[in-house]
Amino acid sequence: MLAIAGCSGGTLRRSLQQEKLRSFNIELHRRLDDAIERLQNTNQELARLKNFNQSIITSIVLGLIAFDQNYHVTFSNRAIRDIFRLGAPDDMDEKLQNLNINCDGRRWQEVLCAVVEEGKEFRCSSAEYVADSEAAAKPAKWLLKLSVAPLRDARGNVAGGVVVIEDVTEQVRMEKRLAASERHAVIGKLAARVAHELNNPLDGILRFINLSMALKDKNDQTHEYLAECKKGLERMVGIVSSLLEFSHSTYPTQNDTNLNDVIRDAVQTLQYRAEQQGVKVVFDLQEDLPEMPCGELVQVFLNLAKNAYDAMGDGGEFRITSKLDGSQVKITVSDTGCGVPEEVIERIFDPFFTTKAPSDGTGLGLAICHDIVKKHGGNITADSQPQKGTSFTITLPVK
């Protein structure tokens, strides 16, 4: 019985151990399945975060470039390709060192070498990038804010570099325009005040010159001198009047009239200049234009004609066309004169800006033209090519 009991006890113990082993095995498989599931979820979350971060880096407006020690690009986002006008991402690998970037007088290649070989950081808030284009007449220039930093591995060794670039071209242009607008506003207020103060003494001087001329015989040399003085004073009075009109934006108004008649009257006022300079005047006017309030537009066409004749000292062709284009009238005024440089054409409507000598112009003529056209709800633009001529396009609403 003792032997049987001993055998039965051993069998029972082995059975209990096997049961425990099966339970442990089941628990181990369960935990392993849970761990695998958690690992898969973690991998999916990491993949999602990676895609999310990559989407952020790719979509931001800042340009990002990562490169290794051999200056091979390992990453570049869409903003970089937009800034540097590149096509496929592989193009960046070939052109990284060849980019025509001026970093405050330092060459771009020197900056990259200093980052990789010496581990130095570099920042520049006014870098210039010139994009060479065979199709363009001249290369385009872009203003950039950039920083270059070394890319280090886990041991702290330099493994390459990272470039962060922001295109600030339009921002700088807007800042310059804002500064110019503020400066023009101040100058305009000052000029209006000076013009107002000059009106009374000029009027008095002109009156006394007229009285003096009446006392002198026309054959007297003094009468000739006084006549020249009167011409100069009348020019000064005209300039002062232009300043006051422009500062207050007040121009005389009239009832509806035929625009073609206004154009002809304005151009024929300077017919004597056209004949003296050998300028051919060509009218190409649509005759059935609707009537519109355009009395003050006389000054616009007069100023444009005067500027055209000034640009054609050796003769040429002055052409003015008008036509009805839907709900607006389109007028084109063109000449074959010396033209305007590209860097000047954007500023010709600015008050007091002129390319003429101080004795030949005040820089208010085109500014007044722009102001009058805008007051009529229209628009005026200019297009010019040096040595080929200038063309002004005016669009005015019919009603």
Residues 191-222 have pLDDT tens digits of 667 766 777 787 788 888 888 888 888 788 88
The list of the chain residues with pLDDT below 50 reads 134-138
CA nearest to 158, candidates 63, 71, 92, 58: 71
- Provide the sign of the torsion angle of the four alpha carbons 263, 264, 266, 270, taken in this order: positive
CB within 8 Å of 78: residues ≥ 6 apart:
58, 59
Say what the pLDDT of residue 136 is.
Answer: 42
Query: Whole-angstrom Cα distance, residue 173 to residue 181?
Result: 12
CA nearest to 278, candidates 326, 302, 312: 312
Q: Which two structure tokens, joined as six digits, stand for 276?
A: 């003296």
CB within 8 Å of 242: residues ≥ 6 apart:
362, 364, 365, 368
CA nearest to 187, candidates 396, 351, 397, 335: 351
Say what the pLDDT of residue 135 is.
Answer: 40
Say what the pLDDT of residue 352 is.
Answer: 67
CB within 8 Å of 324: residues ≥ 6 apart:
286, 288, 289, 290, 330, 398
Query: Whole-angstrom Cα distance, residue 93 to residue 299?
Result: 58
Number of residues in the chain: 399
Q: Which helix (H) or strand (E) holds 361?
A: none
Say what the pLDDT of residue 393 is.
Answer: 92
Cα separation values, 143 from 3, 12, 165, 180, 185, Å: 100, 88, 10, 19, 27
Q: Which helix (H) or strand (E) holds 34?
A: helix 2-59
DSSP 144-161: EEEEEEEEE-TTS-EEEE
pTM, entire model? 0.44
What residue ranges define each of the domains in the chain, with the CATH number in brackets?
60-167 (3.30.450.20), 174-248 (1.10.287), 256-397 (3.30.565.10)
